[in-house]
Amino acid sequence: MDFGFYMPAQLIFGPGKAKETGSYVKALGKKALVVTGKSSAKKAGYLDLITKSLEKEGVDWVLFDEIEPNPLTTTIDKGISFARENKVDVVIGLGGGSAMDSAKCIAFGVNKEDSIANYFGAQPAGEVLPIALITTTAGTGSEANNFAVMTNPETNVKKALSSPNTYASISIIDPELMLTVPKKVTASTGIDVFFHSMESYLTKKSHPLSRPLSLEGMRLVAENLKGAYDDGNNIEYRERMAWANTIAGIAINLAGNCGIHALGHPLSAYYDLPHGETLAAVSLAFMKFSINEAAEKLAEIAKILGVKTEGLSVVEAAEKGIEAFEVFLKSVDLPTKISDLGITEDSIEKLALNAYEYSSHNFVASPREMTLEDAINLYRESL
């Protein structure tokens, strides 16, 4: 056993909580920068809901709504300048992982002189504006951890910034905001929750505090993602997925991800593909690659996926679990191969080198430690 625990974010969970945003934010500042994407939160009326709540509580606000999926360091730099010009004293992220992670980066960058692109990786605690996050998807878990993933368009690096000061002071998780998430986004964000749970379980860094959260995260996704996908208006499925997302976010904060995220990030960095889809597309090859080193854990995952494991050896149960996972991915129309995403053999070397260079910590943390050669083979087997 070798672990620490630091989780200073205050989580406010429950249907209807988003309309109370102002009452929480007023304790953090007087002038807020609301960071969001160009359309979805606006279209669904959530931006109005939040800003009305701020006004009701006497919090002034300005809007930065230029965040794209897989947010770019150049866009974040623009947001940082905007925050400085407007002298805001609190940053609110409203949206999915992209908006929330960008809000963290803007709050972090306001008091730095250079580009946010110089701050990938673990960063020391420094002066950061208070952060409030309102998540509109069940995916990323950003509201419950200090990771902020961004992409540098000049170098194609997609990686997280994390600092002891990039936790949200307040995170509001309101499942009612998730009722309007489109089917495809429900699947790709929901499966990210499963991978946060699974990778934080498979990693060599998993420990007694992270493991129960990882297992519960996987159980909740296995039992509720298909329901949320088929019946998006059902608040109970959305609520359970929101909770899974939050605890999986804490699990990666405790133990981290491993090889699946390492192989997925370069696909988004080069081809701007949805994060969850990239993970799904490389996951089966990674699970097979890990079967001997992680047999017991994969057998445990098989049970969560509904496999009857009595009478099977541990490795047989693990194999059945991988088969069941493929069926699960297909049940919510997710890719199971990188060729489903249009990736061909000629991209593999570039992808593997990128993963090796920027996610080597997750190569090492994987249950079967990965080399550059392994990464090349895993992409090839995922074709």
Residues contributing to the site for Fe ion (CB under 5 A) = 192
Measured from the CB atom, the residue of 57 and 216 that comes closer to Fe ion is 216
State in angstroms the smallest separation of the CB of 97 from Fe ion: 7
Task: Give 213's contacts (C-beta < 8 A, 6+ positions apart).
Answer: 197, 200, 247, 248, 250, 251, 254
**Strand partners of residue 90:** 32
> Using CA atoms, how far apart are residues 274 and 185, in angstroms rounded to an integer?
9
Helix (H) or strand (E) holding 135: strand 131-135
Measured from the CB atom, the residue of 75 and 200 that comes closer to Fe ion is 200
Give me the sign of the Cα torsion angle 302, 304, 307, 312.
positive
Rounded to the nearest 5°, which phi and psi values hold at 152? -90, 110
Measured from the CB atom, the residue of 192 and 374 that comes closer to Fe ion is 192
Q: Taking phi first (over 0 means left), then psi (-120 to 50 degrees means alpha), and beta for anything else, what does residue 105 get?
A: alpha
The closest residue (CB) to Fe ion is 192
Report whether 214 contacts 304 (CB < 8 A): no
> Using CA atoms, how far apart are residues 120 and 235, in angstroms rounded to an integer?
37
State in angstroms the smallest separation of the CB of 160 from Fe ion: 10
Query: What does the block give as tokens for 29?
Result: 């500042």
Measured from the CB atom, the residue of 192 and 319 that comes closer to Fe ion is 192
State in angstroms the smallest separation of the CB of 270 from Fe ion: 17
Report whether 131 contacts 120 (CB < 8 A): no
116 CB neighbour count, 10 Å cutoff: 25
Query: What does the block give as tokens for 277?
Result: 């889809």
State in angstroms the smallest separation of the CB of 192 from Fe ion: 4
Measured from the CB atom, the residue of 147 and 167 that comes closer to Fe ion is 147
For residue 38, what are the CA distances in angstroms to 58, 61, 96, 191, 296? 25, 17, 12, 24, 45
State in angstroms the smallest separation of the CB of 350 from Fe ion: 21
Measured from the CB atom, the residue of 278 and 382 that comes closer to Fe ion is 278
Query: What does the block give as tokens for 240?
Result: 């359970």
Measured from the CB atom, the residue of 92 and 160 that comes closer to Fe ion is 160
State in angstroms the smallest separation of the CB of 313 from Fe ion: 32
Measured from the CB atom, the residue of 116 and 191 that comes closer to Fe ion is 191
Task: Give 224's contacts (C-beta < 8 A, 6+ positions apart).
Answer: 237, 240, 241, 244
Helix (H) or strand (E) holding 60: strand 60-67
Measured from the CB atom, the residue of 29 and 37 that comes closer to Fe ion is 37
State in angstroms the smallest separation of the CB of 276 from Fe ion: 7
State in angstroms the smallest separation of the CB of 12 from Fe ion: 22
State in angstroms the smallest separation of the CB of 196 from Fe ion: 6
Question: How far does CA 12 lie from the centroid of its chain?
Answer: 19
